[in-house]
Chain A
Amino acid sequence: MSTTENTESRERGKAPAGERVADWADGRLGIYSLAKSNMRKIFPDHWSFMLGEVCMYSFIIIILTGVYLTLFFHPSMNEVVYHGSYVPLQGQMMSEAFNSTLHISFDVRGGLLIRQIHHWAALIFLAGMFVHMMRVFFTGAFRKPREINWLFGFLLFVLGMFTGFTGYSLPDDLLSGTGVRFTEGAILSMPIVGTYISFFLFGGQFPGHDFVARFYSIHILLLPGIMLGLMVGHLILVFYHKHTQFAGPGKSEKNVVGMPLLPVYMAKAGGFFFLVFGVIAAIAATTQINPIWAMGPYRPDQVSTGAQPDWYMGFAEGLIRYMPGWEINFWGHTLVLGVFIPLVLFGLVLGAIALYPFIESWVTGDKSEHHILDRPRNAPTRTGFGVAWVTVYMIGLIGGGNDLIATHFHLSINDVTWFVRIFFFAGPVIAFIATKRICLGLQRRDRDKVLHGRETGIIKRLPHGEFIEVHEPLSQEQLHTLTAHHQYEPAQVGPAVDENGVERKIKGSEKLRAKLSGAYYGEDNQIPKPTVEEYKEITSGHGHH
């Protein structure tokens, strides 16, 4: 805060109005020092660093359109007879929630467009978070000091899933009602507590008269409130840690090379917001989503084929669809493994990616800070794990859409289900091995490029008749980029005797860690990058290879 009186400027007359307003605000909020430290914050340029922005902007769009929808939506399950303008439902009994959603869609000005923007933005928000999370994962941006921010992001993704679920359940249509029934089944499959939780959630027997009102406050208040807080925390941490960057000349662990927040990024980000809004609005204006009028009001005695959740819950749907319908009877209590195992797997699959950063840092023992991103090929084990995880996720999505895959590719749904069952186990293993081989191959190629230069495609005939391809040496910048990454040594099990020569007990966890570390950095698991000596030896006049 600048509290000193500026007497000199007084004498020269009044300062401009803008400056006086700023002065007034600074005297109370201290904005000058805040601006000084943040206005010139540097952000590096890369398209993949804008994925998080896509998420933030679609979240803002969701909040804005959601507020509009709350003005007209009635979160009530009281039954009414429909007398609105959609003819094929006139005279039908339905809940007020469904009735008011029809009202929004057909009778509120701009209602259907806003509904569709809200829903499309939700799908894109979740897809954006997924891709953003994978970008962070594959470039190793989750490493120290950003582990907490990784967890914030992960929580945003999971809460986004449930906010989406509670949101699309609100209209109380036949499709979402089936989804809520699905959820009730999953809750009931929990041993001992399942029944109690279900009765608590639905206020008695499903569907009851409460869940729309309850989902409504969860959807518009509880979850988005937590998400907003997490998002602000996420952004503060991005500011605090500063943004990561890819390796390159002039870029180090101690600097950030890019453009300042003001004015460049403010303009870019502001413009990008409108581009995101524009793309989503264009889609919403031309493409129908969740036509609840076609699905009809929910009745527990009706069901339709092709009842799937929105894509982000699709892998949970898949887990249930391809799980065999096992159940065991246990002292007069039925344990529905066919539903309970998928429920557990749902948590495990999500938990695996959330906890990965901590597992990696334990295995590698790497405690240093990282601000330079990894190229995915330079971390083959991590990249392999990530691709294996995405494979499990995608297999789940295929399983969730098994009926549509069967009808559209003229396959048998039974074959699709069996394919998915087998590849739930085999897929990640194959993906891990294949990805790792590809990464190592790419590392070898980088090594070749550094040592022997770029293949130009020019064939030269030597005087004695031999044909050679001319290799062009890489520029200094390229050489730096290809060799900037640090290569670790695998962790060893400590000495068998301590400093006094007494035999030491080696813990099992220590052995496991050494073994896993070997899988990361062992001989066959990374290609040694060329050393300066190698480079000099090859380029010091022995001619081309």
Chain B
Amino acid sequence: MASPQASTQSMHQVLCFALAGEAYGIPILKVREIQAEAVITRIPKAPPYMPGVINLRGAIVPILELRQRFSLGSAPEDTRPVIVIVEVQGRTIGIRVDAVSDVLDLDPAAIKPPPELGAQTQLGREFIAGLASQPGAPGAADQGDGAMLILLDLDRLLSDGELLSLDSATA
């Protein structure tokens, strides 16, 4: 805690969620709210990772299936997915995850750049903003390999190649 500015401090407040046994984090400032499971209306011919839209108090909001996006297979029967509503570049998008666990204050010094993961990883390196060790967080990452948190770069995640092509279809 080398006297960080208030904004830097808040930038490192993250919402942690679980996905296929791994712990992920996104900047809390991008998160608008957390929704329990809503009925998804399928969009014809949509990619599997963006299967449809939900009604968020009158707004039509698309859902990103993070498991599909990262090719992690479908969730086991007993999970009750949650939708994290985020706001990125003026758009509201719901991210479907297995469970939300915690809000953490991260020491910026504890955030490490992502290592080279090689081309074989499904989760491209470009979506990872960094890795952090969790300061004794309960709940998440109880699957063994320690208290590691994967910090996602939402802007990149939601505007990478394929989603960008969706954008250009609008134009």
Report whether chain A binds chain B.
no
Q: B residues bordering A, Cβ < 8 Å?
A: none
